[in-house]
Copies of this chain bind each other. A is one copy, B any other.
Amino acid sequence: MALKTGIIGAGRIGTIHAENIARFIPQASLEGIADIKLTAEQEGWAKALGARIVSKDPADLLKDSSIEAIVICSSTDTHADFVIAASEAGKQIFCEKPVDLSVPKVKEALAAAKKAGVKLQIGFNRRFDHNFARIRKYTLAGEIGEVQIVKITSRDPAPPPPAYVAVSGGIFIDMAIHDFDMARFQAGSDITEVYATGAVLVDPEIGKAGDVDTALVTLRFANGAIGVIDNSRKAVYGYDQRVEVFGSKGAAQAENDVPNTVRLFNEKGVAAEKPLYFFLERYKQAFIDEMVSFINAVQGGKPVAVSGEDGLEDMYAAQAAGKSLKEKRPVAVDEIRRAY
């Protein structure tokens, strides 16, 4: 039986999940879509996808007894409340990252899901990327030996507007949170200490908003490995998403994905195309695969691949990075963890 799902939030990411469930994931059905600012256009789109319930009130999904799982894609500040409400309604939950910018609020949401005995998966889709998942598979198969160094390159093609930056929580919470999650995933271990350095090299307005746009974060993991993340808000050649894991028996490197494999040879040299432009193109299949993973966990009664606790740990690491950048010193993640 297909898992009956309802989606809260019909924005960019909600659209992706809705279309994926409706079209590409036979193991699930799209029962309903709710968005508090639902437009007429969105309503038409939702109905065309076959949604039975199309509403401005998310409660319409929560109170529908046939819906088994809720996919939360609303604005970040509403995630935690919807996790709590969905938990209380006994729904299985897939929640976009982050659960909340406030750690206590995240904890509250996690506690609600735990109390209700429902599953809660966080939307760290990159773990499902064909390249990054393959590296992890090599590691788990012992091909790399003990993990010693994890290197993550994560650069966006263009910066968000400074106005967005100002309320984003900063580069580590807003952008690098994915990379902290990837680092923990690839190391197979939690982060114990971070040291962050950064600079404003892309747009002075980002600096005025109190943030950096270029950063390097050194990591120490509980298992003894070390790692580094490099971030930039602007790689002119497109979305640069690479991972390298180095260990006692070998190393694995993932290159970016490309639109085609053609090389053009001429008098000037050899030309190839840039990497896929941004996350919609690069992680197209990963968005599907994370949802399938969630559905399998729910239907198979198994743990989710990315838990609420993962989201919390990623948040701690991101906050430690922010503190490290500000105070110009290495910060133990435990220093953050204990503060709550």
Q: Per-position contact with B for A190-227: 1 when CB-CB < 8 Å, else 0?
A: 00010101110110000000000011101010001111
Q: Per-position contact with B for A124-161: 1 when CB-CB < 8 Å, else 0?
A: 00000011001100100001111011010101000000
State whether the Cβ of A274 lies closer than 8 Å to any Cβ in chain B: yes
**Given contacts A264-B138, A270-B273, A148 and B201 within 8 Å (CB-CB):** yes
Q: Per-position contact with B for A271-299: 1 when CB-CB < 8 Å, else 0?
A: 11111000000000000000000000000
**Given contacts A138-B262, A237-B250, A263-B253, A218 and B216 within 8 Å (CB-CB):** yes
A230 to chain B, nearest CB (A): 6
Copies in the complex: 4
- Which residues of B lie under 8 Å from residue A317 when comparing CB positions? none
- Which residues of B lie under 8 Å from residue A38 when comparing CB positions? none
B274, A269: Cβ atoms under 8 Å?
yes
**Given contacts A259-B130, A266-B237, A329-B330, A148 and B232 within 8 Å (CB-CB):** yes
State whether the Cβ of A16 lies closer than 8 Å to any Cβ in chain B: no
Please classify how large the interface on chain A is, using the bins under 10, 10 to 19, 20 to 34, 35 or more. Answer: 35 or more
- Which residues of B lie under 8 Å from residue A175 when comparing CB positions? none
B269, A269: Cβ atoms under 8 Å?
no
- Which residues of B lie under 8 Å from residue A262 when comparing CB positions? 131, 134-135, 138, 252-255
The contact of A270 among B146, B227, B271, by CB within 8 Å, is B271
Residues of chain A touching chain B, judged by Cβ–Cβ distance below 8 Å, are: 23-24, 130-131, 134-135, 138, 143-146, 148-149, 151, 153, 155, 193, 195, 197-199, 201-202, 214-216, 218, 220, 224-228, 230, 232, 234-237, 240, 246, 248-257, 259-275, 328-330
Which of A23, A153, A246, A270 neighbours the largest number of chain B CB atoms within 10 Å of its CB? A270
A143, B266: Cβ atoms under 8 Å?
yes
- Which residues of B lie under 8 Å from residue A329 when comparing CB positions? 329-330
A260, B134: Cβ atoms under 8 Å?
yes
A-B contact pairs, 18 of them (CB 8 A): A23-B23, A134-B262, A134-B273, A138-B264, A193-B197, A195-B195, A195-B197, A197-B220, A234-B248, A249-B266, A251-B264, A252-B262, A255-B263, A256-B261, A257-B261, A269-B271, A270-B274, A329-B329
